[in-house]
Amino acid sequence: MSKAIIARKVGMTQIFAEDGKVIPVTVVEAGPCPVVQVKTVESDGYAALKLGFLPAKEKSLNKADLGQFKKAGVKPCKVLKEVKGLEGYEVGQEVKADIFAAGDKVDVSGVTKGHGYTGVIKRWNQHRLKETHGVGPVHREPGSMGANSSPSRVFKHKRLAGQYGVENVTIQNLEIVRVDLARNAILIKGAIPGPKGSVVTIRTTVK
């Protein structure tokens, strides 16, 4: 059975292993996530759990979302997400951080930081043009666009300037270093997508 939970990124720090090595970790606030709906193959065509996360005021929700929480008898939440693979839960129960343990391998999905409209150097790690006479007047431009007379156009998918960031990214095969149930905290080795305070989904790794 795969495991999953909704979490909020708190920030990064470092801890020391028993052998004295320093381990960089990301701290996330994982759950508790109340079960709002249980979807089954018979009624919905697939099996999944709809989880809530982070308490919210009723006035901040629309009627459709508020109706789901009232039907389930669950307090309103800011975040509603479906996760697959969790079994044995009923409506009203809570998914907590203790479903994971130290040493578990997980995939973490989140929305990356937004950088706005950026050039090709920042967006695609391209090189600068030569800093000599005859080049320019711009030295950070994308460079050659391709052939002239044929096909007389720029090919699709050429790496150019544009919106950078704010996209769904999944980092696979990360390791859980520690689980602190008293604080609903999970410490994950390495970095995960998104800025501080962003919502991420933690799942059992597919690899």
Per-residue pLDDT of the chain (207 residues; tens, 9 = 90+): 688 999 999 999 999 988 889 999 999 999 799 999 888 888 888 888 899 998 888 888 888 888 888 888 888 899 899 988 888 888 888 888 889 998 899 999 999 999 999 999 999 999 999 988 888 788 998 888 877 788 888 888 999 999 999 999 999 999 999 999 889 999 999 999 999 999 999 999 998
The 3-state DSSP class for residue 109 equals strand
Q: What is the pTM of this model?
A: 0.84
The 3-state DSSP class for residue 168 equals strand
SS3 assignment for 12-55: EEEEECCCCCEEEEEEEEECCEEEEEEECHHHHCCCEEEEEEEE
Q: What is the pLDDT of residue 135?
A: 85
The 3-state DSSP class for residue 175 equals strand
**CA 193 to CA 171: how far, in whole Å?**
8
Complete domains list, the chain, with CATH? 4-116+169-204 (2.40.30.10), 117-143+156-165 (no CATH)
Per DSSP, the residues of 74-103 read ---EEEEEEESS--S--TT-EE-GGGS-TT
Q: Which residues pair with 83 in a beta bridge?
A: 49
